[in-house]
Structure 1
Amino acid sequence: MPQFEFDGVRIAYLDEGQGDPILLIHGFASNKQVNWIYPGWVDLLVKDGRRVVAIDNRGHGESQKFYDPAAYGAPVMAEDARHLLDHLEIEQVDVMGYSMGARISAFLTLNHPGRVRRAVFGGLGYGMVSGVGDPEPIAAALEADRLQDVSDRTGRAFRAFSDQTGSDRRALAACMRSSRQKISEADVARIERPVLVAVGTRDDIAGSPQKLADLMPHAEVLDIPGRDHMVAVGDKVYKQGVLAFLNNVDA
């Protein structure tokens, strides 16, 4: 996969297809392959006539790893995404983020509104504003010697996921301790681009998608029936809803 470097930070990405560009930003402990290639998103969007760009966030996948929480944070990673757009000479893009990637996408949209045409916030509802729980049990689970030593349910799920993806758990722990900055209701209300908030109906992490969408002037909700946080990303209802949203020329 291609990589580029800026300010001493090495970022990996993929760039496939032709047409209107869309930037995909994965969730915590995931990467571009797990979040977007394996569930079929890249193939789907390329076949829909789009240029698909997917980033490995710092600390994840093939991108550079850091072990200081100060090196992370959603606003910092939003700037990584912006630098990637600059590197590829893409002026404006649709953007879809999942979970932590949705938070990064929101910061990208807020801080560089001219670069984003429309956005999909997957796997994150009002938790974008209220927060989605204490990061410390997840960070501790990532640092534990063995999965069997982890008792916290959410921490155990993320630890098992990080083991499955072969992630650098120390880098993820640093990321977890700083990556989930809240965004105020007033700032969310400044997002004037069309937004689709897509959340599984059994997702107990994301928070209310409707409550988040209600804050924005041009946002709508896509419920992903019967899906929890970890499996909603590959759901066919999610895919069909995103294609309909992206192909709505009036949005």
Structure 2
Amino acid sequence: MHGLFSSAEVNWIKFGTAARLADAGYRCLMLDFRVHGDSAAPEDEAAYPTGVLEKDLAAWTDYLGIQDYDLAGFSLGARTAAIGVLDGLAPRRLALCGMGLEGICDHDRGTSIGEYVGIIDTFGTHKPGSEEYFTQQFLKTNKVDLTAARHLLHTLRDADRAALGDMNIPAAVICGEEDKYLADAKALAAHLPDAAFTEIAGTHMSSVTKPDLGEALAAFFGSPPSA
């Protein structure tokens, strides 16, 4: 599962992470969330019920008919995967990348999602050199539909902290050494009952471009059961 306003192509394919897992013997199945990548971005608010991304993830796994699988997500994809498991998904193992405890349990405090809403509402006004301008250009480069994006951001819900702490599934928490969510990611690994933490190179944005991410995922998942 990819990150906010990114895509499977950018997060998993372009920089070789999916290829690394395929080389290890895995079949990598990836989707683009609605409003992302090649998926539709309807502007009708009715298309965005609360928890729509977790609903989409569950519907996607049902459509594929997969039973024995591992699940990995980066940033928004990580929190979607974690909440999806709390909703009933049952992967063998779970890899949560570029995301922390507060990010999953209190997205207003633990993520930049609220900042995105503000930047969308003031789009085009931010000056070069500011962090807001960088985000504005990121949205423009990825051709994000701002109306649909605003609707989507208001669908996000948080995990129950106690339930997350009881999520007894083998998990990896992987985060860049310069990621602004590094401390929160370490807190997530400590909170989960069966999790290991791995620190890799990069910032929140650059860690997906480096081979360390694929290597960390391959080391965690190991050889496929059928291999």
Please tell me the TM-score bracket, short chain as reference. 0.7 to 0.9
- In 2, the alpha carbon distance for the partners of 1:167 and 1:140 equals 15
Residues 101-160 of structure 1, C-alpha deviations (whole Å, 9 max, x = no match): 0010001211124x311111111012222432564431232344426458962x433322
Going from structure 1 to structure 2, the CA distance change for 1:236 and 1:69 (only over 3 Å counts) comes to farther
Cα distance, 1:89 vs. partner?
A: 1.4
- In 2, the alpha carbon distance for the partners of 1:109 and 1:247 equals 21
Matched, 1:137 2:115: yes
2:78 counterpart residue number: 102
**Once superposed, which parts of structure 1, at least 4 consecutive aligned residues long, lie more than 4 Å away?**
149-152
Residues 83-106 of structure 1, C-alpha deviations (whole Å, 9 max, x = no match): 111211111321111111001000
Matched, 1:233 2:199: no
The one-letter amino acid of 1:203's match is D
Identity %: 24
- In 2, the alpha carbon distance for the partners of 1:60 and 1:128 equals 20
Q: How does 1:16-95 map to 2 (within 5 A)?
A: 25-67=1-43, 68=45, 71=48, 73=50, 75-95=51-71
2:161 counterpart residue number: 185
Going from structure 1 to structure 2, the CA distance change for 1:35 and 1:160 (only over 3 Å counts) comes to same
Going from structure 1 to structure 2, the CA distance change for 1:221 and 1:134 (only over 3 Å counts) comes to closer
More displaced stretch, 46-55 vs 200-209: 200-209
Asked whether the 8 Å contact 2:42–2:148 carries over to 1, the reply is yes
Judging by fraction of residues, say which structure has more helix. 2
1:215 counterpart residue number: 191
Asked whether the 8 Å contact 2:17–2:211 carries over to 1, the reply is no
1:176 counterpart residue number: 153
Match of 1:46, SS state, is helix
The one-letter amino acid of 2:147's match is R
- In 2, the alpha carbon distance for the partners of 1:150 and 1:66 equals 30
The one-letter amino acid of 2:24's match is D
Normalised by the length of structure 2, the TM-score is: 0.86
Match of 2:199, SS state, is strand
Asked whether the 8 Å contact 1:196–1:221 carries over to 2, the reply is yes
Q: Aligned to 1:224, which of 173, 193, 200?
A: 200
The one-letter amino acid of 1:159's match is Q
1:120 counterpart residue number: 95
Going from structure 1 to structure 2, the CA distance change for 1:133 and 1:47 (only over 3 Å counts) comes to closer
Alignment length (residue pairs): 221
Match of 2:35, SS state, is coil
Judging by fraction of residues, say which structure has more strand. 1
Going from structure 1 to structure 2, the CA distance change for 1:72 and 1:98 (only over 3 Å counts) comes to farther
Residues 193-245 of structure 1, C-alpha deviations (whole Å, 9 max, x = no match): 111111112111465222111111110101123x2111111222222111010
Match of 1:50, SS state, is coil
Q: Which has the higher contact order (CA 8 A, sep 6+)?
A: 2
Runs of at least 5 residues in structure 1 that lack an aligned partner in the other structure? 1-24
Residues 41-72 of structure 1, C-alpha deviations (whole Å, 9 max, x = no match): 22222222111110110111121213328705
Cα distance, 1:249 vs. partner?
A: 8.1
